[in-house]
Chain A
Amino acid sequence: MKGTIVKRMIKIGLIALLWPLSPPAQAQAPATAIGGAPVWNELKGEKLEALRLKGDPARGAEAFVICQGCHKHGATGTVSGAYPRLAGQHATVLIEQMTDIRSGERKNPKMERFSDEHVLTTQEIADIAAYLQALPITPNLGRGPGTALARGKALYTRDCAICHGDRGEGKAEKFYPLVAGQHFKYLLREARFIRDGKRGNANPDMARVIKSYSDDDLEAVSDYMSGMATP
């Protein structure tokens, strides 16, 4: 018991010492888990390494070739929602998701098998993120049915805008993704995963907010987001 406290104090001391060095330029670290509870999106290991690396868009374009089989040329994703649009997404978010899928934290067996370090190096993750962030967005490829936009807007304004922004632009330094104009079916799938605890790396704050959402609510808000103007 005493040993554990000492260890924890050493750990906190180390964190305090290293703190000025650790946050990468483009990202803020979330609160540290001093109480021992798991922290969402803890910046450590490969994720931290990739965030600190300088991504090169030209190299990223070349490395992204292996992703095109699913995410398509121009990173448009697919309207079916099987694969999200990645063009224009924040580099921080892309790094977070790629490293989380690779580590298994985000449960995505389809992609995990292709995310081996022999397929993609940590530097390439940073490069791809830089490339995708700067890619032009083809707007609103996969709109929803448009049947519950008013309800969707009300829910979005009440619950989502505080993090994802009034225009669905997200927030790079907080790892909040751009959601405007994303494929409806992808938004709906992931929102369900997050509500039902199946995504693996969901932000617990979001899971809490949408816990009481019905399927219709999720559809309405996804419908609204898929129709938001892209930046």
Chain B
Amino acid sequence: MPQDSPSHKPRTQGGRRPYHAVLMLGLVLSGSVWADDAEKARTIVAKICAACHGMDGNGTAPNFPKLAGRHPEYLVRELKEFSSGKRKSEIMGPIATALDPDDYKALGAYFGGQKPTSGQVLDTAAAASGKQLYQDGNESKGIPACGGCHEADGSGNKRFPRLAGQHREYLIAQMYNFKKDVRSDASSRLMREVAKLLSDDEIKAVAEFLTGL
């Protein structure tokens, strides 16, 4: 057991070198684990998610949401809610259940790290009134400003999803899911109440505005 023999002690310089070695090894390992996670996430995305959401999270099918730039914690929460059935989706329910929950975090980080794209505004008048509703709400109807939770620029945060640049069709569909209590999970309570206060035109207008962000 030469490594325990006193003759090796001087080489450790008071024990500092082994400490550094352990630290370096730790850094290298954690770095490679991180790289592994990212690589694994990329593989899963290519195999499972990309068909609908796009490899870069900016899928072009308007009925599937863009995920690029969403907060990783929000993405993880939604995957959990899909797999537990709290958020009901015939498509995402089985997919989230089939995924390994240990991979949720890496998937969240992957999509969160993708660069989000903007959509094209088609109805500028609707977008203008949508902008006002998004930023100021409607005091006489008691509609809160959307930006209060989703951020002024629609970039979202860990609790509230990014809306900027999202497909208008997806936004509108989700607003009706809130309005009609399809999204019935407890955490969506506030959005259900907001959606019930919005008219069809107001829903369209806000979606039009957000698409262009």
Residues of A at under 8 Å CB distance from B?
A: 62, 65-70, 72-73, 78, 80, 82-83, 109-111, 113-114, 116, 118-119
Contact = CB atoms under 8 A, between A and B. Distances in A.
Contacts of A65: 148-149, 157, 159-160
Interface stretch (B70-78, B186-194, B201-209): B186-194
A70 B159 contact: no
Given A66-B149, A114-B190, A118-B186, A78 B144 contact: no
Interface of B: 137, 139-140, 142, 144-149, 157, 159-160, 186-187, 189-190, 193
A118 B139 contact: no
A65 B193 CA distance: 16
Nearest to A116: B189
A119 B160 CA distance: 13
Contact of A66 (B139, B147, B148): B148
10 contacts: A65-B160, A68-B144, A69-B145, A70-B137, A70-B142, A70-B144, A70-B145, A72-B148, A73-B148, A114-B144
Contacts of A114: 144, 190, 193
Contacts of A119: 189-190
Contacts of B193: 113-114, 116
Contacts, number: 49
A109 B196 CA distance: 14
A83 B137 CA distance: 12
A80 B190 contact: no
Contacts of A67: 148
Given A113-B142, A118-B187, A119-B190, 15 more contacts: A65-B157, A65-B159, A66-B148, A68-B148, A69-B145, A69-B146, A69-B147, A70-B144, A72-B148, A78-B139, A114-B190, A114-B193, A116-B190, A116-B193, A118-B189
A66 B137 contact: no
A121 to B, nearest CB: 11
Contacts of B160: 65
A111 B160 CA distance: 20
A70 to B, nearest CB: 5
A109 B197 CA distance: 12
B133 to A, nearest CB: 11
Contacts of A68: 144-145, 148-149
Contacts of A110: 142
B137 A69 contact: yes
A102 B86 CA distance: 25
B152 to A, nearest CB: 9
A113 B142 CA distance: 10
B156 to A, nearest CB: 11
